[in-house]
Chains A and B, each alone.
Chain A
Amino acid sequence: MFRDFGWQDLVPLAEGAWLTIQLCAVSGILGVIFGLVLGIARTSPSRIARWISTIYISCVRGIPVLVIIFFVFFGIPLLFPGLEPDKFSSAVIALTCFAAAYVAEIVRGSIEAVAKGQSEAADALGLNYWRKLRYVILPQAVKIMVPPGIGFLIGLVKDSSLVTVTGLLELTHAGNVVTNLTGDPIKTFLVVAAMYFVICYGISLLGRLYEKRTGVHVDPLKLPEPAGV
């Protein structure tokens, strides 16, 4: 009934890994864009902007990613009849919603980590809020964001395994399919785990390279922890 796990099984797994990379790249980029906006709003002088972003961030960070994925996957077609995003799009929407909140916390932490004197100096020079942000705060904050951002990206790759519940054929789901063909969950999921390891470890090596080049090292305990377990 089953055939042995063989070289040919690496093909669907590699295709799954490629989809996982695409998924994380798209939702990672979108998450960074929305996360920057949310994180700036979180530290802005406008009370309404602060309120809205704080509520969004705390809600998303207090709910499991899996529940967010279910909410997007089942909720969007119910809330917006006629709108039926395909599996890849709903996975991107769910992971982007989730990523934006965590990136926003990293952005907030980094903006607050820029020395206070910098902001005061910009005020003393008469720069308005947006100019202060654009020319003084953000250029320094971005350097601080990168190490925790890399940690978060690794978390995103791991959490993307959860979209397997929607039936999208990413790496973990490809592992399920191969297991059903070969009846060998151990070999299959060890290969799956090894593929995740290569992706995640590759990203963390990039982070280490960045730290070496710039000398920027941020205490992981002082900033919001990277998401994902």
Chain B
Amino acid sequence: MALYFGDLLPYSSLLLEGLWTALYITLVAMLAGSALGVLLYLGKVGARKPLSILCTCYIEAIRNTPLLVQLYLIYFGLPALGINLEPVLAALIGLTLNNAAYTAEIYRAGFESVPHGLREAGKALGMKPAQIVQYIVLLPATRNVFPALTNQLILLFLASSIGSIISLPELTNAIMSVSNTTYRTIEVLAVGGLLYLGVSALMSLASKRAETTLFRWAVGTHV
């Protein structure tokens, strides 16, 4: 068979719109999810036992089930309770709730990897727990968390493609509808795949750059 990309040209704006929707969903879900993740993390490590158990259960339930099933529960399940959601809203809620559990675990791992000696040193200096977090632990923990968070952003961007199954008009959805109208399946999948690849490569480059400029003070230290 001969490959021919010309048939795709009239649909390039459809593909770019799909890409834009994917990016928009990803960014909103990342911001909302990582904020919700902070609350989940604080709830999990906090002193209140019932809240801690609740947060742990939530995190484990989300991390051990597929995003697609979570989206199905929101998109098909909520209407059964009388709550009808647009695909965009359903995808946003699903990705946010999903992302929150993963970011909470990232915060936990990041804070746990700060050596205990630093906290003890703070205590020995007579600092209050809040001061220890603010002046000692926060900065190295942030440096540990940052690469994992940007990695999560890329994974979330790739995962936004799953929204196409609940008819969210993002890039994968656009790819499949162009494929259905032009029958240029291989070509449009190749172009769409390259769009995903390009954006995720840019994200990874930008995060490496941001890491070296934001955390220049930490070069060569192993905190």
Contacts and interface: CB of A to CB of B under 8 A. Distances in A.
Listed from nearest, the 7 A-B pairs whose CB atoms lie closest are: A64-B161, A161-B66, A185-B76, A200-B64, A229-B159, A62-B197, A158-B66
Nearest to B70: A193
A70 interface: yes
Interface stretch (A36-44, A46-54, A130-138, A220-228): A220-228
A102 B73 CA distance: 28
Interface string B1-28: 1000000000000000000000000000
Contacts of A26: none
Interface stretch (B46-54, B115-123, B171-179): B171-179
Given A64-B161, A75-B186, 16 more contacts: A59-B197, A62-B158, A66-B162, A66-B165, A67-B161, A67-B193, A71-B186, A74-B179, A78-B186, A154-B64, A190-B73, A193-B69, A196-B66, A200-B63, A201-B60, A227-B155
B28 to A, nearest CB: 15
Contacts of A227: 155
A107 interface: no
Interface of A: 58-59, 61-67, 70-71, 74-75, 78-79, 81, 154, 157-159, 161-162, 164-165, 172, 175, 179, 184-186, 189-190, 192-193, 196-197, 200-201, 204, 219-221, 225, 227-229
Contacts of A189: 69, 72-73, 76-77
A218 to B, nearest CB: 11
B102 interface: yes
Given A63-B197, A165-B165, A225-B155, A71 B189 contact: yes
Nearest to A160: B66
B109 A197 contact: no
Contact of B193 (A58, A71, A159): A71
Contact of B68 (A164, A197, A204): A164
B196 A78 contact: no
Contacts, number: 139
Given A201-B64, A227-B155, A63 B196 contact: yes
A105 to B, nearest CB: 11
Contacts of B221: none
A207 B186 CA distance: 39
Interface in B89-111: 98-99, 102, 106, 109-110
A165 to B, nearest CB: 6
Interface string B178-195: 010000011001001100
Among B65, B99, B102, B151, find the residue whose CB has the most chain A CB atoms closer than 10 A.
B65
Interface in B39-92: 60-61, 63-70, 72-73, 76-77, 80-81
Contact of A63 (B66, B98, B151, B158): B158
Chain B contact-residue range equals: 35 or more
B144 interface: yes
Contacts of B207: none
Contacts of B162: 64, 66, 162
Contact of A79 (B64, B77, B81, B186): B186
B148 interface: yes
A196 B179 contact: no
A220 B156 CA distance: 18
21 contacts: A58-B201, A63-B196, A64-B161, A66-B161, A66-B165, A67-B192, A70-B175, A70-B189, A71-B193, A74-B179, A78-B185, A79-B186, A162-B66, A164-B68, A164-B165, A172-B68, A186-B80, A189-B72, A193-B70, A193-B73, A229-B98
B164 interface: yes
Interface string B144-170: 100110011001101101101100000
B113 interface: yes
A154 B144 CA distance: 24
Contacts of A165: 165
B67 A158 contact: yes
Contact of B172 (A64, A75, A200, A220): A64
